[in-house]
Amino acid sequence: MLRQVLHAGLRTSFHALGRFVAGHPVFFASAPVLLSILLGASFSRYRVEEDVESMLAPKHSLAKIEGNLVDSLFPVNRSKHSLYSDLQTPGRYGRVIVTTRKGSVLDPVHLDTILQLHRRIYKMQVTVPATGFNSFNYSFSYLCLPDDKNICIIDDIIRSMEDIQSARNSNRSVPVLRYPITQLADGRQAYIGHQLGGVQGWAKGEGVRSARALQLTYYLQARGGLMDRVASQWEKAFCAELHHFAALHPKLGLYPSASSSLRTDFQFSSVLSRRPLLASLGMCGVLAVLCCSMRDCVRSKPWLGLLALLSITLSGLTAAGILNLTGATYNSTYLGIPFVMLGHGLFGSFEMLSSWRRTREDQHVKERVASVFEDVMLRFSGSTMLHLMTLGLAASPLTNMEAVRLFCRTAALAVTISYVYMLSFYSSCLVFTGYLETGYRHGCFCRRVPKPDRLDSKPAWYRCLMYTRYQDETQATNTSNTDSHLLLGCMRRCYGDWITNTYVKPFVVLLYLVYISFGLMGFLQVTQGSDPSALVAMDTATVLYTRAQQRYFSSYSPVIGFYIYESAPYWNATVQRDLLEYAKGFQRISWLEAYLNYLSEHNQSTSQPRENFTHTLRHSFLREPQFAHFADDIIFAERGQGEEPDVAASRIFLVAKTTENKREEMSVLLDTLRRLSLTSRVRFLIFNPSFVYLDRYAAAVSSPLRHSLLAVLFLLGLSSLAVVEPLVSVWLGLTLLSVQFGVLGFMTLWGVELDCMSVLCLISALGHSADCSGPLLCGFASGRGESRTRWVRVALERHGVPSLQTLICYSAALVPVGSVRSNLTHTLFRCLTLTAGCSALHTLAFLPTLLTFLPPSKSRGHRPGEGQRQEVECVEMNDSTRVVDQITTV
């Protein structure tokens, strides 16, 4: 009873809203246009997101907390001897991987060329500001991080190469270069595994024989706004200089990268997608016009297809204006929002047009529009609520991925405005075209169509162009001329009978089992896509640099910092043994191991009292030239006057041997060492900037999808108590789960990883599948009497055609996006294509077949003659002026 009362109240409210919109079409058509123009003028405030790392990495993770602690203990500006690439991420830097087409980078010719490149970069200058009296020239020596002698810190491999060049020029024996840890001329050991790649050694382990690649890193200081601008200009000049140098030396391959490369290449996908998006809009517009056209030129509504796209475009412009006024920033993940709006808006417009064609033509336009609102808007509002529920919960603080949260927040705003514009702008356009139809004017040219007696004298092409069927005003028709629509005729005469055929049903069920099997096979192979380079445009500096790094520098992991952040009894033999055991199996640069060896070489015990241990460390060990660089790795805390200070914190560097699955192995290593830190008597943590992307990435990416899916199921369960029939909610929930399962499985089989972009598509797939299957299920469940097959055919005729029209236009809009040379748009194209395909399969094949032999039942509570009484009552409600004639006819 409550459900019937709410249904009646909502339908009555939408009926009144439809009459009100039809009574004021000019206002509802002009107000959205004016509002969009006013808000569109705010694009002068357009801003692009600058901090890509915070957007693509989990917002709250232990790795970020550890990184802040590491920066507070060992800031990059504190290092006075050496810096390890990939260990710390300063504000600005420039990197380049140098490869050889043939030979080794250590060959005399290539080595001299690389050192020449290093000197050019060292002397390169940028002018800031570019013009004016206050301009200054800045070189790398001014921007670099200095050592204790105020000399720029450079990579250790440069010093080794300079020693090799000097030895060759003076005809001395070339010093042996070992890998991955070598000994420099000053006696200290340096890790060069991240600086030398593609290494081949001599058979007896006597050093490096050849190397195919070399990586150089130039760290910059960015103190304040001016220095940051200077460093930014230096990075641009750095990349330009490398491109120019590569053109002069074709035997070398140069792959530059800078701190701003990821941000630039990530946002470059939006630039590449501008023309394809316009092409998508054009192709979708052409097919929308065709889908709205009929043979009958009066009842044809080609302009409504374009006006539906215009309504979606205006709503997108309004949403963008609101974002600009609120100070929001844009990023390339927003490329998926137009397709969320397109799928939802097109389906609503095609549903309204289909309902319009089922209204009585002898009614007034206001009554017809009110009937359309009463028939469509309850379902359309329900699907909009599902969209807002999924997107809204994913945009909540529960989401740990900033990119997902921003996308869902913006998409929810866009869907809301699109819904309002569909009620106002598109509905008023439907009113105008209704008046054209009432006046028997051409649906395209708006010219009045002559009556048949006057058309007979016209040429054949004119008769074909002006074909329509005049009807007597006293003749009542319930479904007039719907067969003149091609898709509707095919659905009514061919497809509906074929899909419900007894001999076709087993093959459809078998197809569904195959669908589930392949979806399960893909679901079991889902992989994480935590690499940010998988979301940037192709053939960019980030992608080329990442490929070169994976090819030549995948033998070893990035340098991992092992940080002991509390005071520990390093003089204790048990603590020493534990720390050496933790580092066992790694390539390492450890002050503790070097110090213990130093004590053993000087015939001193490694287990000494605290004062002796610390005194020897400070006054003997760290003052040796080959061990002086370890001063950067130890923090002393003063005790009382006259006492030796404590070692408050320290660090050692670890490097693991890796294989091709570098990121997976790093994730396993991170989890293993963290579990070890919980049971260790020494408090330590490990950190590398890549851990920010790896730490809790799977949970951060999957949680928005899981929350959205649970929210939808909860909403369906709640609505089944008062609004929707329970079996409709059950069927719709199962359909959403099936579509999500299929999209996730087939997405994996297509080579798409589970990253933030694919999760965004999966979240939007919930709303898209609800748009397609919800009206079909409601139409089937609302029928009483007759057979299941009959009501399946009726539901396909009424709601399957709008789904098919949406699928055609939506698929055409996706085609140009697939041609964009971007990893992000490729993921978007594949996921949205699978979403459209799986939703169409369920709406047009699986559900029509399964509903013919699964609940809800159609014969429950049905008695002979009930159908006839219902039909008479329906006629009385539709047209009270011809009750007697219609009852006589029945």
Q: How many other CB atoms are found less than 10 A from the CB of residue 509?
A: 14
Which amino acid does the sequence have at 568?
A
φ, ψ for residue 692 (rounded to 5)? Answer: -60, -35
Across 318-345, b (16+ Cβ under 10 Å) vs e yields: bbbbbbbeeebebbbbbbbbbbbbbbbb
* pLDDT of the residue at 756: 87
Q: How many other CB atoms are found less than 10 A from the CB of residue 506?
A: 10
Secondary structure of 385-448 as H, E, C letters: HHHHHHHHHHCCCCCCEHHHHHHHHHHHHHHHHHHHHHHHHHHHHHHHHHHHHHCCECCCCCCE
What token pair was written down for 809?
Answer: 């236009």
Indicate the burial class of 224 (C-beta count within 10 angstroms; 0-12, 13-18, 19 or more): exposed
Q: At what angle do helices 591-601 and 573-582 cross, to 10 degrees?
A: 130
CA torsion, ordered 286, 288, 291, 295, to nearest 10 deg: -60
Cβ distance 58 to 401 under 8 Å? yes
Angstrom distance (rounded) from CA 417 to CA 314: 9
* pLDDT of the residue at 698: 65
* pLDDT of the residue at 515: 96
Which residues does 584 contact at the CB level (< 8 Å), separation at least 6? none
φ, ψ for residue 584 (rounded to 5)? Answer: -65, 140
Show the low-confidence residues of the chain (pLDDT under 70): 76-90, 132, 203-206, 222, 470-484, 659-663, 696-700, 721-724, 785, 857-890
Angular region, 222: left φ>0, alpha ψ -120 to 50, beta rest:
beta
Closest CA to 802 of 485, 512, 499: 485
Instruction: Give pTM, 2 decimals.
Output: 0.86
Cβ distance 231 to 91 under 8 Å? yes
What are the C-alpha distances in Å from 870 to residues 357, 476, 808, 862? 22, 18, 36, 11
Cβ distance 414 to 790 under 8 Å? no
* pLDDT of the residue at 214: 93
pLDDT in tens, 754-766: 888 999 999 999 9
Q: At what angle do helices 823-841 and 726-749 cross, to 10 degrees?
A: 140
Say whether 621 sits in a helix, a strand or coil. helix
pLDDT in tens, 231-270: 889 999 999 999 999 999 999 999 999 988 988 999 999 9
Enter the DSSP assignment of 563.
E
Pairing between β-strand 136-139 and β-strand 125-128 as defined by DSSP bridges: antiparallel
Q: Which helix (H) or strand (E) holds 100?
A: strand 92-100
What token pair was written down for 632?
Answer: 């950067």
